[in-house]
Chain A
């Protein structure tokens, strides 16, 4: 990925590749649109188990994984732990509800997240993390 100054997202040379893991179809559409708006491409998974399968079967590599916390089949905490066990090196950002307490957020972080963001996700919340990825 080209290294660019803060905020200069429009000129990314290599498209940011993002996996969006969420059971809410509304969130999937919105988060895909956000990623597209900031110049990235995305793939979606409807729950944590799908996310694990994507990594196991496809050998996929993502720059960023947006991980919802509450999901059926396999939740965000379990999925993050599993992906780290599988040595997935992507930046994993947890997406939590404002109703989640500090203990719940801490447990999510300890599962292997790089960051945690509260819903609703917006471009302004994601762009600083993208910049961090680009500077890495």
Chain B
């Protein structure tokens, strides 16, 4: 089962969902906090759900306040960077670019893709953490090949 866990993790990196920062977080895990990364991920998804909701409400109003949208996305990008959520981070960057040039359609399109990437990452990480818990204490975090 450890092997299955390792394979799932490797695929998350190979498919570009996660970057090096995730490994940095795993290296911070110790006996006192063996589930540190899962706790961080849980907090990330809770906070990012709030940001997604705020952005949705702002977009639904119809009149695009690009400054407000950019501010929300700045926060979203920051937390995505902190956890190593690479694809989500990329979409955040694109969204901010569209805000910068005042492109509403670009914002809407990118936001749709961002939500898709975010949902996929959430599902994959939930699967990973569930398997990891079942597999039991694992070896030290290893950088992806």
CB distance from A26 to the nearest CB of B (A): 5
Q: For the complex, is A58 an interface residue (Cβ under 8 Å from B)?
A: no
CA A34 – CA B25 in complex, angstroms?
A: 9
Q: Are A33 and B81 in contact (CB under 8 A)?
A: no
Q: Are B96 and A99 in contact (CB under 8 A)?
A: yes
Q: For the complex, is B28 an interface residue (Cβ under 8 Å from A)?
A: yes
CB distance from A33 to the nearest CB of B (A): 5
Q: Are A26 and B24 in contact (CB under 8 A)?
A: no
Residues A81-136 near B (CB distance < 8 A): 97, 99, 119-120, 122-123
- By a CB distance below 8 angstroms, the chain B residues around A24 are 75, 78-79, 82
- The total number of A-B Cβ pairs within 8 Å is 51
Residues A30-71 near B (CB distance < 8 A): 30, 33-34, 37, 70
Q: Are B82 and A119 in contact (CB under 8 A)?
A: yes
Counting chain A residues whose Cβ lies within 8 A of the other chain, the interface size class is 10 to 19
Q: Are A30 and B47 in contact (CB under 8 A)?
A: no
Q: Are B79 and A120 in contact (CB under 8 A)?
A: no
**Minimal Cβ-Cβ distance residue in B for A118:** B81
CB distance from B67 to the nearest CB of A (A): 13
Q: Are B28 and A27 in contact (CB under 8 A)?
A: no
Q: For the complex, is B74 an interface residue (Cβ under 8 Å from A)?
A: yes
Q: For the complex, is A1 an interface residue (Cβ under 8 Å from B)?
A: no
Q: For the complex, is B40 an interface residue (Cβ under 8 Å from A)?
A: yes
Contact of A26 among B30, B74, B82 (CB under 8 A): B82
Q: Are A120 and B40 in contact (CB under 8 A)?
A: no
Q: For the complex, is B43 an interface residue (Cβ under 8 Å from A)?
A: yes
CA A97 – CA B30 in complex, angstroms?
A: 28
Q: Are A33 and B78 in contact (CB under 8 A)?
A: no
- By a CB distance below 8 angstroms, the chain B residues around A122 are 21, 24
CB distance from B134 to the nearest CB of A (A): 25
Give a binary string over B83-116; 1 marks a CB under 8 Å from any A CB, 0 the rest: 1100000000100100000000000000000000
CA A63 – CA B78 in complex, angstroms?
A: 26
Q: For the complex, is B13 an interface residue (Cβ under 8 Å from A)?
A: no
Q: Are A26 and B28 in contact (CB under 8 A)?
A: no
**Minimal Cβ-Cβ distance residue in B for A124:** B24
Residue among A25, A26, A34, A119 with most chain B CB within 10 A: A26
6 pairs, CB–CB < 8 Å, chain A vs chain B: A24-B79, A26-B40, A30-B28, A33-B36, A34-B28, A123-B27
Q: Which residue numbers of A lie inside 8 Å of B, CB to CB?
A: 24-27, 29-30, 33-34, 37, 70, 97, 99, 119-120, 122-123
Report, nearest first, the 7 A-B pairs whose CB atoms are least far apart.
A33-B28, A26-B79, A122-B24, A120-B21, A26-B82, A120-B82, A120-B81
